[in-house]
Amino acid sequence: MSDDSRPSPAPTRTAAVIPAAGRGVRLGPGAPKALRTLSGTPMLIHAVRALAASRAVSLVVVVAPPDGAAEVKSLLDAHALPDRTDFLVVPGGESRQESVKLGLDALPPGHDIVLVHDAARPLVPVDTVDAVIEAVRDGAPAVVPALPLADTVKEVRPAETAGDPEPVVATPERARLRAVQTPQGFDRATLVRAHETVTENVTDDASMVEQLGLTVVVVPGHEEAFKVTRPLDLVLAEAVLARRRLNDGF
Ligand SMILES: Nc1ccn([C@@H]2O[C@H](COP(=O)(O)OP(=O)(O)OP(=O)(O)O)[C@@H](O)[C@H]2O)c(=O)n1
Ligand SMILES: C[C@](O)(CO)[C@H](O)COP(=O)(O)O
C-alpha cells in the first residue's frame, strides 16, 4: 500500500469531565459550591462554558452532587451553551476522586483525550484549556497547568495536640515548586488505568499518573484559573468578571 492510499488517522476527540459534586465546606454554609452564583450565573455554568469554549472539546460530562443531577440537567438546559458540544450529567461520589471516576465511567467510546476540570475553577481562560489539549496531542500522557508560587512554603510536623505549634522540618526550594491547577489533560487510557490502579485518596488526577511511573508535564497556568475555595475567592471571582465585562464593553 503506498503512503497516499493509507487511511488518515481518525481525528483525536476531547471530552471534559467536570467534578461538581463537592459541598464547599470551606466556602461556608449554603448550596453546594458549584451551584452558587457568580454575577448571577451558577459557578458550574461558568466552568462548563469555559471548557466548551475550546473548539476541541466535543463532550462535557458534569458530575453533579449525588442528589442534584436533575437540578444540574435543568441548569444546563436553561443556559446558552455551544451547539457543537454534547453534555452528560452523572451523580457524583463521596470524594473528588470518586466523582472523577464516576464521570470517566460514563464516557462513551470515541474520545481519546480527557480533561478533568474543577467546577470550582470557573474562570479558566480558553487559551489555558487549549494549551493543555495541545500538549496531550503532542504525546504527553498527562499534562497539568501550573504557576510558580508567590509564598515560601514550609514543611511542618503536624502537631500531636490540636492547637499546639507545628515545628518546621524543611523549606523546599521555591523555584522548583509549582501550584497546580485544572484542567488537567490525559491520554484517556492512561487516566482510566490510573483510576483503576491507585486506591489511596489523592488530591489531583495527575498524581495518580505519577504513581504509574509516567511523566506528567507542566504547561503555564493562569492567575484567573484560581480555585474558589474560601469566601475571599468569591470577591476575586466577581472582580475578574467585572473586569471582563468592562473589557468586553458592556
Ligand atoms: N465529593 C466530591 C468532592 C469534590 N468534588 C469537586 O472537586 C472540585 C475541587 O474540590 P474542592 O474545591 O475541594 O471542592 P469541595 O470539596 O466542594 O470543597 P470543600 O473541601 O471546601 O468542601 C470541585 O469542583 C468539587 O465540586 C466532587 O466532584 N465530588
Ligand atoms: C485538583 C486541584 O484543583 C489541583 O490544584 C486540587 O488538588 C483540588 O484539591 P481540593 O482539596 O479538592 O480543593
Residue 194: strand pairing partners: none
Amino acid at 53: A
158 within a domain of the structure (yes/no): no
Average pLDDT over residues 147-156: 98
Which of 23, 147, 210, 227 gets mutated to test ligand 2 (max ligand atoms within 8 A of its CB)? 227
164 within a domain of the structure (yes/no): no
Q: Are strands 184-187 and 142-148 parallel, antiparallel or unpaired?
A: antiparallel
For the chain, the average pLDDT equals 95
Indicate which residue's Cα is closest to atom 12 of ligand 2: 203
* Residues whose CB is less than 8 angstroms from the CB of residue 46 and which lie 6 or more positions away in sequence, other chains included: 38, 122, 123
- CA 247-223-151 angle, 5° bins: 140
* CA 145/CA 133 separation, integer angstroms: 11
* CA 114/CA 187 separation, integer angstroms: 6
Lining ligand 2 with CB less than 6 A are: 96, 118, 180-182, 203-204, 227, 229
- List b or e across 19-56, with b for residues whose CB sees 16 or more CB atoms inside 10 angstroms: bbbbebeebeeebbbbbeebeeebbbbbbbbbbbbbeb
**Distance of alpha carbon 125 from its chain centroid, rounded?**
12
43 within a domain of the structure (yes/no): yes
What tens digit of pLDDT does each residue of 107-140 get?
999 999 999 999 999 999 999 999 999 999 999 9
Q: Are strands 57-64 and 14-19 parallel, antiparallel or unpaired?
A: parallel
CA of 58 to the centre of ligand 2 (A): 24
Give the chain's domain count: 1
Domain that holds residue 39: 11-146+179-248
Q: What percent of the chain has pLDDT over 90?
A: 93
221 within a domain of the structure (yes/no): yes
Q: Is the pLDDT of residue 47 over 60?
A: yes
At residue 136, the 3 state secondary structure works out as helix
Please name the residue ranges forming H helices in 79-177: 96-105, 126-137
- Cell 496531550: give the residue: 136
What tens digit of pLDDT does each residue of 218-238 get?
999 999 999 999 999 999 999
Q: What's the CATH code of the domain at 237?
A: 3.90.550.10
157 within a domain of the structure (yes/no): no
pTM of the prediction? 0.95
1 within a domain of the structure (yes/no): no
Amino acid at 65: P
172 within a domain of the structure (yes/no): no
CA of 67 to the centre of ligand 1 (A): 15
115 within a domain of the structure (yes/no): yes
Q: Is the pLDDT of residue 4 over 70?
A: no
